[in-house]
Amino acid sequence: MIRRLGLIALLCLLPLLAIAQAIQPLPFRDRAEEVRFQKLSTELRCPMCQNETLADSNAPIAHDLRRQIFEMMQAGKSDAEIKAYLVDRYSDFVLYKPPVEPKTWLLWFGPLVVLAIGGMVVAVQVRRRARQAPATTAAANDTEDDW
Amino acid sequence: MSRFLPLIAFGLLVALFGFGIWWNTAHDQHEIVSPLINKPAPAFALPVLGDDTRKVDKQSLLGKPYFLNVFGSWCIECVHEHPVLSVDVKQLGLPLVGFNYKDDPQDATAWLAEHGNPFDVVIVDRDGRAGIDFGVYGAPETFLIDGKGVIRYKHVGPITPDVVAKEFRPALAALAKEGP
């Protein structure tokens, strides 16, 4: 019984192994550098798996690109320079937040346009009903005046 | 008019979702259009498979268009692509450069011995650094590089006879039209 419990307890620890192996550790100089690396790699998309960030992905290319980002950070490159480097090779696809430019205007402002159209429809409806309503509300008010 | 509003809204949604389905079937979701097309290929100098002392660089390949095929012994699709590469692409008459990507040279040699070697020369990018410069994110991938060292076309994924007929041949025809 105790042996079995022990075995179950050990099995429960197995998922930890996956976490330990998921991402190979990089030799960061300090905590700030690690935080910067983590932030940058969650803003970039893995080209292979496409719905994972570079930080999360275990694809070989994600591993290589993390190494590349790390080396560029060590070489003193800024976040913008590192992003530009990747965009030059893998296009805007790698950016989770695409740049605002004419061909992405629809993407950025489309929802606002839809919201504005919806707002206009509501406004028109409200006004139309207000125009139709006075007779009935006036009548209602009349009865209320009797109180 | 306002009675038909729900119907119109429904129709618009049908059109939107229909477009989405059409778009997804008509496009390969895994293909990233390379920003390097019509730009000079990145400089590289990589050792030749089986002869580490010899290096092939971008300059030594200038003068004549060639295909650069990214492959690896670990890559399953490369096995499927191999016969097309050996026959259909070979028939196009261009030099075929193998780009052995993130592979063990011994495995690569064994793979080529087993399946046959369609390449005129095989260069080794063991850690994938040159691959990053080419915007490679997997294998197989195939580049067409012209005599001036400019990337003219890229195909992501296995080459099929259909791809050769519909993409490779027109790309080559466009190159030929420009003259040497």
Nearest CA among B167, B161, B152, B168 for reference residue B93: B168
| Domain spans, chain B | 1-30, 32-177
- For the residues A4-32, what does the mean pLDDT come to? 72
> Which among B30, B33, B129 is the nearest to A50, CB-wise?
B30
Residue appearing with tokens 């002392």: B53
Please report the pLDDT score of residue A145 as a whole number: 52
Cβ B148 vs Cβ A84: under 8 Å: no
Which residues of B lie inside 8 Å of A (Cβ-Cβ)? 29-30, 32-36, 102, 127-129, 131-138
The 10s digit of each residue's pLDDT in B102-160 is: 999 999 999 999 999 999 999 999 999 999 999 999 889 999 999 999 999 999 999 99
**Topology of the domain covering B32-177:** Glutaredoxin (3.40.30)
User: Residues with Cβ < 8 Å from B134, sequence gap 6 or more?
Assistant: A89, B36, B41, B42, B44, B68, B70, B99, B143
User: Residues with Cβ < 8 Å from B39, sequence gap 6 or more?
Assistant: B150, B151
pLDDT at B165 over 80: yes
Look at A61 and B32 and tell me if their CB atoms are within 8 Å: no
> Which among B30, B32, B35 is the nearest to A88, CB-wise?
B35
> Which among A50, A60, A89 is the nearest to B133, CB-wise?
A89
Supply the ipTM of this predicted assembly: 0.83
Positive or negative: CA dihedral B127, B133, B137, B143: negative
pLDDT at A29 over 90: no
